[in-house]
């Protein structure tokens, strides 16, 4: 399956702009208790270049750590900081859409750092009237610690798999840290009022709305200028909590193209976790064969992840991939088992159902 995704990723291209007037753009960012992470985002927005009409809406979600004050003190050009009346990311999107003046809505997160030409690259495909939705690449910054390097590698894999879904004409994944859509088309499709209100998942729900209408009007912009980098969790505990939030939205995925691959991945990881048992249970001359699934997984993971880091200009070693291949089955089994069953979770000081 990894090889199929890798080959599909290789078929992606960035759509160039056509000669046309640049559409107006509204960037919407929800922020809650991000005082320690939002400054790089604000600095990046100060440097952002988009030659067309642009507004930036930063919606403060009842922060209790001084986030709103920091935003107002370092407000980028063409930006406004608004106090959210509701709660959660969906409320931020709804209220942002109500006041947005842009034809194109561009979304990212308060802990993400876009490049100087990010908006220009992400808006490029909309010069073609047949495009209503654009997803962009997302990675995280790999430090020297194992948590951030594992997280960065997993983002590389998610990026390739996300892009491959678009190349295959069956997009399933999207990252709210980097996506854009036509505001008018969302209104024609009925808006987002029917979406469940959670701390995670609006990206996938929005994509499902657009791609059910016509998947060929959805595009993945494989352009290094469109890349945004998100902050890595600062501990294994924080990483596991993040993955549990991600899996909480799995119940709303398409059965065949979303849930089925996830279920197969979960089962494969469960089998891999049984490898040590098989190694000691099998006769001595057969025991090495039990390690074959780990070797196959490592080779497939390496080829897939290398395609990602070659695009994003990141640097990893085969040892990074080997460690990630051994850690991933544990995290997948835990998050895939617990995440969909949890009635709620704590997110930035707030209990979310």
Question: Of 201, 223, 18, which Cα lies nearest the Cα of 119?
Answer: 223
Q: Which helix (H) or strand (E) holds 151?
A: helix 146-167
**pLDDT at res. 255:** 47
Q: What is the mean pLDDT of residues 298-308?
A: 93
Q: Determine the Cα–Cα distance for residues 33 and 41; give it in Å rounded to an integer.
A: 14
Model confidence over 128-161: pLDDT tens digits? 889 999 999 999 988 889 999 999 999 999 999 9
pLDDT tens, residue by residue, 168-190: 988 888 899 999 999 999 999 88
Helix 292-312 and helix 146-167, axial crossing angle in degrees, nearest 10: 80
Would you say residue 241 has pLDDT above 60?
Answer: yes
The separation between the first and the last C-alpha atoms of the chain, rounded to the nearest angstrom, is 33
**Beta bridge mates, 82:** 59
CA dihedral 137→188→196→177, nearest 10 degrees, is 20
State the Cα–Cα distance between residues 66 and 52, nearest whole angstrom. Answer: 32
Query: Which helix (H) or strand (E) covers residue 169, if one does?
Result: none
Judged by average pLDDT, the poorest of 86-95, 220-229, 247-256, 334-343 is 247-256
- Could you give all domains of the chain from N- to C-terminal order, each with its CATH number? 2-232 (3.90.550.10), 255-339 (no CATH)
With a cut of 50, say whether residue 306 has pLDDT above it.
Answer: yes
Q: Give the best-scoring range by mean pLDDT among 182-191, 203-212, 258-267.
A: 182-191
The predicted model gives 189-213 an average pLDDT of: 73
Residue 252: its H or E element: none
pLDDT score, position 164: 94
pLDDT surpassing 60 at residue 253: no
pTM for the full predicted model: 0.87
What does the alpha-carbon distance between residue 48 and residue 309 come to, in Å, rounded to a whole number?
Answer: 24
Quickly count: other Cβ atoms within 10 Å of residue 251's Cβ. Answer: 12
């Amino acid at each position: 399956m990894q090889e199929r995704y890798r080959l599909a990723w290789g078929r992606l291209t960035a759509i160039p702009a056509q000669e046309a007037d640049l559409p107006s753009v509204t960037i919407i960012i929800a922020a809650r208790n991000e005082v320690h992470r939002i400054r790089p985002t604000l600095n990046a927005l100060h440097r952002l270049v988009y030659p067309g009409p642009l507004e930036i809406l930063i919606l403060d979600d009842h922060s209790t750590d001084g986030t709103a004050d920091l935003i107002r003190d370092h407000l980028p050009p063409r930006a406004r900081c608004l106090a959210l009346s509701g709660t959660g990311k969906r409320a931020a999107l709804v209220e942002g859409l109500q006041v947005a003046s842009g034809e194109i809505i561009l979304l990212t997160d308060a802990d993400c750092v876009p490049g100087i030409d990010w908006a220009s690259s992400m808006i490029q495909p909309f010069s073609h009237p047949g495009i209503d939705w654009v997803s962009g690449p997302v990675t995280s910054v790999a430090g020297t610690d194992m948590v951030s390097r594992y997280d960065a590698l997993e983002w590389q894999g998610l990026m390739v798999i996300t892009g491959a879904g678009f190349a295959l004409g069956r997009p399933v994944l999207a990252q709210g840290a980097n996506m854009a859509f036509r505001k008018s088309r969302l209104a024609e499709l009925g808006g987002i009022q029917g979406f469940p209100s959670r701390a995670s998942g609006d990206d996938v729900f929005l994509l499902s709305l657009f791609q059910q209408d016509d998947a060929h009007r959805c595009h993945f912009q494989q352009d290094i200028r469109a890349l945004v980098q998100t902050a890595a969790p600062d501990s294994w505990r924080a990483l596991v909590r993040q993955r549990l939030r991600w899996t909480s939205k799995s119940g709303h995925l398409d059965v065949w193209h979303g849930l089925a691959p996830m279920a197969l991945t979960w089962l494969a990881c469960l089998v891999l976790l049984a490898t040590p048992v098989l190694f000691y249970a099998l006769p001595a001359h057969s025991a090495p064969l039990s390690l074959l699934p780990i070797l196959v997984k490592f080779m497939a993971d390496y080829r897939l992840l290398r395609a990602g880091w070659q695009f994003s200009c990141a640097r990893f070693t085969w040892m990074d991939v080997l460690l990630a291949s051994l850690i991933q089955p544990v995290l997948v089994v835990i998050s895939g088992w617990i995440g969909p069953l949890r009635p709620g979770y704590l997110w930035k000081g707030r209990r979310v159902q």
